[in-house]
Amino acid sequence: MWVKFCVKCAFLDISFLFQKFAKLCHNITY
């Protein structure tokens, strides 16, 4: 249970960072 929770949190953090990175690239491109 704990492991699943940790993995879920890590996945959310990574997707959040990826979104910020994608926005940054988008701003640079346009």
CA 4 distance to own-chain centroid: 17
For the whole model, what pTM was predicted?
A: 0.48
SS3 30: coil
pLDDT at 2: 63
CA 25 to CA 19: how far, in whole Å? 10
CA 7 to CA 10: how far, in whole Å? 5
Per-residue confidence band for 30, with pLDDT thresholds at 50, 70 and 90: low
pLDDT tens digits for range 2-12: 677 777 878 88
Residues 12, 17, 20, 26: is their CA dihedral positive or negative? negative
Q: Above 70 in pLDDT, residue 16?
A: yes
Q: Above 70 in pLDDT, residue 1?
A: no
